[in-house]
Amino acid sequence: MKAAELYQVMTALSQEGRPFVLATIVELQGSSPREVGAKVLVEPDGTTIETIGGGPLEARVVADAQAALESGVSGVRTYRLTEEGDQALGALCGGEVKVFHEVHAPEHSLLIVGAGYIGQSLCRLARQLDYRITVVDSRADMLTEERLSEADELVLAEPGQIAELCRIDNRTHVVVVTHSHLHDEEAVFTTVSSPAAYIGMIGSARKVRKVMANLAARGIPEEQLKRVHSPIGLDIGAQTPAELALSIMAEIVAVSHGLLDDRKPRVRRAKERD
C-alpha cells in the first residue's frame, strides 16, 4: 500500500471516530525486516493494515500498540532482534529497532440515546465542547439532520441494537434520554457492561428505582448498576431542555476530570420527588 493510501485509511478511521495506533520504525541498528519509515496501523482488536516485517517483532509491536490505545499515551519503544537479553524477541537478525507508537483516538465521544428536545440541546452544547456526537433513536421523524445538525452520526435503531451498531470504548459517554422508560431500560441494559467512561439515565427517583430493579432481575450485577448516573446530571435546578443538557454535560466533564467517583452509589438530590 502506498503512503497516500494509508493516510486515506487513517483519515477515514478518524472521521468515523475509530481509534488506532500508527506504529513507525524511526531508528534501527544492524539487520531488520524493514527499513526506517515502515509503518503498520493497528486497531484495538489487533487488526493491522500494512506491515513492519511480520514475525515476533510485529507481534510485539501490535501488542504494545493495543496497550498504548488503552492508556492513550504515544511513545517510542525499543526492540532487540536477538535471542537473549532485555526486550529480546528470540529473533536471529541481531538488530535493534525503535518504533514510535502514535495514538490516534477521539478525546471525547458522546452517544445520545434519544433524539428529543434534551438530545437536541445536548448536541448543541457537546459540539461546543468538541465531542464527537452520535444520536440513536427509533423514530425517523425525530432523527433528522435538520433537528440534529451538530451530530456526526445519526443511527436509526432500537435501543437493544446499540451495542451492535455503535462503537463504545473507554472514551465514550452514554446519555440515555429517550421518550420511554422501557427504551431507557433497554438502552442501559445494552450499554452497562461496556467499557464506556460514563453512563447516565434521565428519570425521577421512582422511575430509577423501577428500572434498576428490572435490570437487577435481568441479571445485571449490582457493581455494574452502580456505574449508572441516575437521576442524571448535576443538581443546578435545571428545568428546560437546555438547562438539563447543561447539567448533564457538567456531570460528564466532572467525571472526566476525576471529580466524581463513578463507582459510588448515587446520592439523591434535594429536589427529586418520589
* Res 84: pLDDT: 53
**Which neighbouring-strand residues pair with 48?**
42
Domain residue limits, the chain: 3-104, 109-256
**% of the chain at pLDDT higher than 70:** 90
**% of the chain at pLDDT higher than 90:** 70
Q: Which long-range contacts (CB under 8 A, 24 or more apart) does 24-28 make?
A: 24/99, 24/100, 24/102, 25/52, 25/97, 25/98, 25/99, 26/76, 26/98, 26/99, 26/100, 27/97, 27/98, 28/95, 28/96, 28/97, 28/98
Quick: pLDDT tens for 2-11: 788 999 999 9
- In sequence order, which residues have a C-beta less than 8 Å from that of residue 47 and are 6 or more positions away? none
Instruction: Give the helix/strand (H/E) hosting 78.
Output: strand 75-80
* Res 94: pLDDT: 59
* Res 259: pLDDT: 85
Name the band, by pLDDT with cuts 50, 70 and 90, for residue 265: very low
* Res 61: pLDDT: 95
Tell me the three state secondary structure of residue 212.
helix
Specify the CATH number of the domain 109-256.
3.40.50.720
Question: Which triple of cell numbers denotes residue 60?
Answer: 510485539
Q: The sheet that has 48-49: what strands, in order across it?
A: 48-49, 39-42, 20-29, 96-104, 75-80
Quick: pLDDT tens for 225-250: 999 999 899 999 999 999 999 999 99
pLDDT average, residue stretch 52-80? 90
Is it the case that residue 252 has pLDDT exceeding 80?
A: yes
pTM for the complete prediction? 0.69
- Is 22 or 105 the better-scoring residue by pLDDT? 22
Helical axes 205-217 vs 181-191, angle rounded to 10° = 50
Measured between alpha carbons, how far is 192 from 156 in angstroms, rounded to an integer?
Answer: 20
Helical axes 241-256 vs 117-128, angle rounded to 10° = 50
Location of C-alpha cell 445485571: 220
* Res 108: pLDDT: 85
* Res 51: pLDDT: 92
